[in-house]
Amino acid sequence: MLKVKKLSKVYKSGGRDVQAIDNVNLELSEGRFVSIIGRSGSGKSTLLNLLGGLDKPTTGEIIVDGIDITNMSDHALISYRGQKIGFIFQSYNLVPNLSAVENVMLPMEFIGVPKSERYTRAINLLEQVGFTNEEIKRKPSRLSGGQQQRVAIARALANKPKLILADEPTGNLDSHTGKIIFELLKKLSKSQKTTIIVVTHDLEIAQKTDQTYNLKDGKLKK
Amino acid sequence: MNVFSRGFKNAFRNATRSISIIIILGLAIGLSLVMVIARQAVSNKISSVNSSIGNTVTITPAGFSNFSSVNNALTTTQLTKIASLPHVISLTENLTDHLKTIGAAALPFGNSTNSNQTNLYSPVKLNFKKISKRHPGIFAAGGGFQIPANFSLPITIIGTNNPAQVNGNNLIISSGQLIQGSSNNNIALVSTAMASKNNLKIGSTFTAYNQPFTVTGIFTSNNTGLGNDIIVPLATEQRLSNQTGDVTKAIATIDSLTNLANTTNQIKNVLGSSADVVSSVQQAQNTIAPLNNIKTIALYSLIGSLVAAIIIIFLIMVMIVRERRREIGVLKAIGASNLRVSLQFICESITLTITGAIIGIIIGTAAANPITHLLVNNTTANNRPANGISRQFGGGGFKNIASGNGNFSLHQAKNGSFKGIRNSFNNIQAVVGWSVILDGIGAAIIIAVIGSTASSLLISKIRPAEVMRME
């Protein structure tokens, strides 16, 4: 499902080159739940951005579901992100003046899913992540951190993506809620057959994934 | 929820800020609409004046406008030459005089020995409070000049050979009949205001120059500027005022507008420096000059307020986009295109400006007439002749009013035909029609779209990866 070949990313910083990602190779099949650990500045977020089509690599290939995204135009990348990728962020990044269900409907609107279908699917997803009928109408300001992250997970799943990229999804949560969210992601990777890559600092959580990779100085090791 | 409803909803995300923006935009758009409406009203008035310009030439003795005594009245001999010029199809001749009311007080300056009197009282009520405020130099405060309690404005008597049209005004006879311009009898037309003030009816008599006059007709005095006037045959006025052969104003009608300029020059050549010769086109242009100034002021104000509105929405949208960089980054990360995100912000901007436009339309509707009148009054006041007080007294200079001197009222005689038009400026009606409302909405949309260009540019430059990196 995901093939990464000789991926490198070099930044210019202060007049010199910084090798953020150095010759990374990775291959994941459908429904895999893997984690990437590494110190701050090791290139974890850069790798996620490259895989998510938010940034372009200096060299190498990223093939998602048989399609090489490295040579895609910006316009094609938007479509790729909308249809194939789901993002989960550490600070949830929900749109504050939209309700939970409206936040989940948002990515579906971007790829042209009809309104009635959007609503039904969003309700189903929110039910799967444990929301009640009353809670789905709440705005993010009236939801706890754990609930907001559940909405973010439902939003990431909205367009049935092939790949979900989660950047420190439990970073802002207490350890109990963090574990619940992690279990939820694990369950969804199996039930939805979605490949999930989680970047985390938490070794305990990382060990519960199918595979853990360590990123150090831009190099990825098992 | 789609991009449009999201944009609409986002416009009211921060209620306090949104209300402030809407009020500011409302004021700017309101001012724009007021200027559009004022400009439209003034343009309509200019068109109406232009379309009513006749092909006439007004001839007055030289120096007629400075309110000094006229010792060089036009003569019948001079005017006979004018009447015989090619293209002159008729010549209206007037002789104007002023009569002091018997028993009324004179003002304590000027020559008060004038013997030309009448038993009529002027229907014109002077607002001395207003006049003294405008002319503190004449009405000195604290023990200065006091208006006598029994003061009455002198009556203007106009002798004419064409009573149907006096000083360019077509007389509308409300009762009785017109007098014959060629008559030499003591007959008169009086205005409705004069008749009412002095209880005059058809067949009533009054005294002027110590002679009895019979009222044969009463004319409507609305907007003619002739309310304080009595109209008599030219020969009668010349005989009684001992000015046989004298004329203080003549109006030559030319056969076509094409020949107006040439004939005006010919008349100037015949009369030389003894007379002021002004064509109706020149008079109209002079009269509407203040209105053209208002049009210019309105245009600049319109442009200014529109630019202000664009700058307001421009800065607001830039501020909003900068504030929501992260949100925009997330929207782009989860599949929103630049166009879609920009469209959402344009909708937000349009919502703010349309709401502002609704407030602006309300402001514009309420303020259009008062502001138009204020502009017209101020501008026309600034363009009045230097001796503005003469207007308060119906045309006569102040000294002449005091004296009742037979040779005053020069200003009125010169400007009489366009005085009605100038007075009608006060009646300019600023109309708020559907077109103005649609203009307002259209302007709001244009303001929103132009004002959103910078925000759209900023949106397109936001890279989700950079925003995510700031986590």
pLDDT at B129 over 70: no
CB contact B15 to A (< 8 Å): no
- Looking only at the bridges linking them, the beta strands covering A59-64 and B211-219 are unpaired
pLDDT at A86 over 50: yes
The tokens for B101 are 């009311």
Mutate to test the interface with A, among B2, B14, B334 (most CBs of A within 10 A): B334
pLDDT at B326 over 70: yes
Q: Identify which has the larger pLDDT, B58 or B2.
A: B58
Looking at the partner chain, which of B334, B337, B468 has a beta carbon nearest the beta carbon of A106?
B334
Looking at the partner chain, which of A78, A93, A97 has a beta carbon nearest the beta carbon of B337?
A78
Task: Name the pLDDT band for B405 (thresholds 50, 70, 90).
Answer: very low
pLDDT value at residue A136: 92
Domain A2-221 in this protein, CATH class? alpha beta
Q: What is the mean pLDDT of residues B283-293?
A: 79
**Lowest model confidence (mean pLDDT) among A95-109, A206-220, B372-386:** B372-386
**Lowest model confidence (mean pLDDT) among A172-186, A191-205, B60-74, B441-455:** B60-74
**Lowest model confidence (mean pLDDT) among A68-82, B138-152, B404-418:** B404-418
What is the per-residue pLDDT across B39-87, written as a single tens digit (0 to 9) for each? 888 888 888 877 777 788 999 888 765 344 556 788 888 889 999 999 9
Kindly provide the ipTM of the predicted complex, given to two decimals. 0.90
Task: Name the pLDDT band for A63 (thresholds 50, 70, 90).
Answer: very high
What mean pLDDT value characterizes chain B? 79
pLDDT value at residue A113: 92
pLDDT value at residue B20: 92
Most confident of B268-272, B282-286, B440-444: B268-272
Q: Provide the total of helices (H) and of strands (E) in chain A, helices listed first.
A: 7, 10
Q: How many beta-carbon contacts under 8 Å exist across A and B?
A: 70
CB contact B143 to A (< 8 Å): no
pLDDT value at residue B446: 87
Other CB atoms within 10 A of residue B400 CB: 26
Task: Name the pLDDT band for B282 (thresholds 50, 70, 90).
Answer: confident
How far does the CA of residue A87 sit from the closest CA of chain B (Å)? 7
CB contact B196 to A (< 8 Å): no
Q: Measure the N-to-C terminal CA separation of chain B; round to a whole number of Å.
A: 28
The tokens for A128 are 């799967």
**pLDDT > 90: what percent of chain B?**
23
The answer to whether B377 touches B134, Cβ cutoff 8 Å, is no
Q: What is the mean pLDDT of residues B301-319?
A: 89
Quick one: closest CA in B to A109, which residue? B2
Q: Report DSSP state, residue B105.
A: B
Task: Name the pLDDT band for B22 (thresholds 50, 70, 90).
Answer: very high
Looking at the partner chain, which of A75, A89, A98 has a beta carbon nearest the beta carbon of B471?
A89
Q: What is the mean pLDDT of residues A114-120?
A: 91
Quick one: closest CA in B to A78, which residue? B335
Most confident of A198-207, B96-105, B329-338: B329-338
What is the per-residue pLDDT across A6-56, written as a single tens digit (0 to 9) for each? 999 998 888 888 888 999 999 998 889 999 998 888 888 889 999 998 888
Residues of chain B with Cβ-Cβ distance to A167 below 8 Å are 468, 471
How far does the CA of residue A95 sit from the closest CA of chain B (Å)? 7
pLDDT value at residue B279: 86
Looking at the partner chain, which of A87, A91, A115 has a beta carbon nearest the beta carbon of B334?
A87
Looking at the partner chain, which of A52, A83, A167 has a beta carbon nearest the beta carbon of B471?
A167
CB contact B332 to A (< 8 Å): yes
Whole-structure pTM over 0.80, yes or no? no
B2/A115 CB distance under 8 A: yes
Q: What is the mean pLDDT of residues A174-202?
A: 85
Q: Identify which has the larger pLDDT, A181 or A212.
A: A212
CB contact B471 to A (< 8 Å): yes
**Which residues, in sequence order, are CB contacts of B261 under 8 Å at separation 6+?**
B279, B281
pLDDT value at residue A179: 83
> Can you tell me the distance from the alpha carbon of A26 to that of B157, in angstroms, rounded to the nearest whole number?
111
Other CB atoms within 10 A of residue B345 CB: 25
A82/B335 CB distance under 8 A: yes
pLDDT value at residue B100: 87
Task: Name the pLDDT band for A115 (thresholds 50, 70, 90).
Answer: confident
CB contact B2 to A (< 8 Å): yes
The residue with tokens 């509105």 is B309
The answer to whether B162 touches B250, Cβ cutoff 8 Å, is no
Residues of chain B with Cβ-Cβ distance to A102 below 8 Å are 1
Q: What is the mean pLDDT of residues B254-258?
A: 85
Looking at the partner chain, which of A52, A55, A110 has a beta carbon nearest the beta carbon of B340?
A110
**Which residues, in sequence order, are CB contacts of B456 under 8 Å at separation 6+?**
B338, B342, B345, B346
Quick one: closest CA in B to A91, which residue? B471
> Can you tell me the distance from the alpha carbon of B409 to that of B230, in angstroms, rounded to the nearest whole number?
14
pLDDT at B387 over 80: no
The residue with tokens 């189903």 is A124
Task: Name the pLDDT band for B136 (thresholds 50, 70, 90).
Answer: low
Q: What is the mean pLDDT of residues A65-71?
A: 88
pLDDT value at residue B398: 38
pLDDT value at residue B92: 92
How far does the CA of residue B17 sit from the closest CA of chain A (Å)? 15
CB contact B127 to A (< 8 Å): no
Quick one: closest CA in B to A55, which residue? B465
What is the per-residue pLDDT across B153-207, written as a single tens digit (0 to 9) for each? 888 899 999 998 887 778 889 999 999 999 999 999 999 989 999 999 999 999 9
B335/A115 CB distance under 8 A: no
CB contact B463 to A (< 8 Å): yes
Residues of chain A with Cβ-Cβ distance to B9 below 8 Å are 97
pLDDT value at residue B408: 31
Sign of the CA dihedral running B421, B424, B425, B426: positive
How far does the CA of residue B332 sit from the closest CA of chain A (Å)? 7
Which residue in B406, B218, B315, B331 sits closest to A107, CA to CA? B331
**Lowest model confidence (mean pLDDT) among A83-92, B266-275, B408-417:** B408-417
